[in-house]
Amino acid sequence: MRTRSRCIAAILLAVSAAALIGFAALLFGAKPMSLDAAMRAVFVPSQNTDGIIVWTLRMPRSIAAFLAGAALAVAGLLLQVITRNPLAAPDLTGVSAGAVVLIVLTFVVFPTVSSVFYPFIGMSGGLLAAAMTIWAARAGRAPPLHLALSGITVSLFLNATTAYILIRGAPQSPSVLFWLSGGFQGRSWPQVTYMLPWIVLGIGAALASHRVIGLLALGDEASAGMGLNTARCKLLLLLCAAALVAGVTPVAGPVAFIGLTVPHLVRLLRPAEAVSAILLNASFGGAILLTADALARSVAAPREIPVSIFTALIGGPIFLYLVQKREHLPSGEGAR
C-alpha cells in the first residue's frame, strides 16, 4: 500500500500547490495587489475595486483554468486507455478538432444559437470525429499506429474545414481566432458554472468505471477473458472523454498539450489503481493549467499572453524529457 499513500500524498501536494499558486496569482496581474489587500478582499468580501478584481476576475478565472486542466488531463488518460496508444490525446484523436469545427460552424452560420448549446454541439462534433477515427481504424482492431494515423488525419481534415469556414465567414473571424487560440481571459463565474456539470459528469463517470479502466489496461484479450464487453466499455469511456473535451472547449478553446503530457507525467508515479490515476491526472492537469494561466496574465501584464504558449513551454519539454528518458513509452495504464 506504499504506492497508495504515495499517490494520496502526490494528489494533496498537487492540489495544495494549485491552491497556493491560485492564491499567489490573485496578487499579480494588470493591477498588482499587496498581500494583505488580497487577504482582506478574499475574507471580507466587499464591493470595492480589490474585491471586484479578486472575486469576479482573478479567482473565477483560476478556478476555470483548474477545472479545464483537470478535465483535459482525464480526457487524455481515458483516450490513452481506450486506444492503448501513448499519443492518444484530445488533440491527436480529432476529438478537439471535431468539437471546434462544429462550434465554429454554428457560430459563423447560425449566430443566433445560444451558447448554452455549444457543449452539446461540441460533444456531437467530438463524437463524430471519434467515430470517423474509429471507423477508419476498424474499431480499434487495427494496430495502434493506424488509430493514431487516422486520428491525425481526421483532425487535419477538420482543422482544414475550420480554416475554410473562417476564411469564408470573414466578419466574425478575429473573435473566433481569439477563442481558437485558447485561454481564460475574461472568463468568470458564468463560464465556471457552465462547464462544471460536464466536468463533474465526465470525471464522475470515469471514477465510477475505474474497474473497467484497470481491466482495459491489461489488453483486449485479457480484459475480454475477464468477462468484459470491451467494445461497450470503450464506447462508454469515449463518451466520458468527449463530454470532458466538449465541456471545456466552448469556454477555453482548444488548449494544447495538457491531455497529451499529464497522463505521461502521472505514469512516472506508477499509480497502482485507476482511481488514483484519474485523481492524479485531474489534480496535476488542473495545477499545470492554473500555473500556465497565472503566468499568461502576469508575465507581460497588462498585456495578456495566450495560455497555449505556456502550456506548450511547460508541456513540450516534459514530453520531450519523457521521450528521451524511455526507449518505449508505456502504452497502457499501469504498464511500465
Tell which one of 51, 169, 219, 306 touches another protein (CB under 8 A): 306
Q: Quick one: 163 or 268, whose CB is closer to another protein?
A: 163
311 is a contact residue toward another protein (CB under 8 A):
yes
Supply the DSSP string of 143-197, one letter for each residue. -HHHHHHHHHHHHHHHHHHHHHHHHHSGGGHHHHHHHHT---TT--HHHHHHHHH
Of these, 33, 137, 238, 243, which contacts another protein (CB under 8 A)? Answer: 137
Residue 256 beta carbon to another protein: minimum distance, rounded to whole angstroms:
4
> Which residue is associated with the grid cell 485479457?
222
- CA–CA separation, 109 vs 92, rounded Å? 27
From 39, 224, 305, 335, residue interacting with another protein (rule: CB under 8 A):
305
C-alpha distance from residue 63 to each of 26, 28, 57, 124 (Å):
12, 16, 11, 26
Kindly tell me which residue out of 23, 178, 211, 270 binds another protein, with binding defined by CB under 8 A: 178
Q: Is 72 in the site for another protein (CB under 8 A)?
A: no
CA pair distance 22, 72, nearest whole angstrom: 19
- Among residues 6, 146, 210, 211, the one that binds another protein under rule CB under 8 A: 146
* CA nearest neighbour of 69 among 265, 234, 317: 265
23 sits near another protein (criterion: CB under 8 A): no
- Is position 304 an interface residue for another protein (rule: CB under 8 A)? yes
Stretch that binds another protein, among 50-58, 194-202, 244-252, 310-318 (CB under 8 A): 310-318
Grid coordinates belonging to 300: 507581460
51 binds another protein (CB under 8 A): no
Q: Is 54 exposed, middle or buried (0-12, 13-18, 19+ CB in 10 A)?
A: buried
Q: Give the shortest CB-247-to-another protein separation in angstroms.
A: 21
CA–CA separation, 156 vs 152, rounded Å?
6
| Closest CB 153 distance from another protein, rounded Å | 5
**Where does this chain touch another protein (CB under 8 A) — which range of 35-43, 187-195, 223-231, 312-320?**
312-320
Contacts (Cβ under 8 Å, ≥6 apart) of 20: none
Q: Which three cell numbers stand for residue 299?
A: 508575465
- Is the distance from CB of 86 to CB of 331 less than 8 angstroms? yes
Binding flag, residue 30, another protein (CB under 8 A): no
Alpha-carbon 299 to chain mean position:
23
> Is there binding between residue 1 and another protein (CB under 8 A)?
no
CA–CA separation, 102 vs 196, rounded Å?
A: 21
Task: Identify the residue among 51, 312, 331, 332 touching another protein (CB under 8 A).
Answer: 312
Q: Is 83 in the site for another protein (CB under 8 A)?
A: no
Angle at 303 between CA 299 and CA 304, to 5 degrees: 75
**Out of 142, 207, 224, 335, the residue judged to bind another protein by CB under 8 A:** 142
Q: Is 44 in the site for another protein (CB under 8 A)?
A: no
Q: For the CB of residue 87, give the shortest distance to another protein in the complex, in Å.
A: 7
Contact positions toward another protein, by CB under 8 A? 87, 91-92, 132, 135-138, 141-143, 145-146, 148-150, 152-154, 156-157, 159-161, 163-164, 166-167, 174, 177-178, 180-181, 183, 256-257, 260, 303-309, 311-313, 315-317, 319-320, 323-324, 327-329
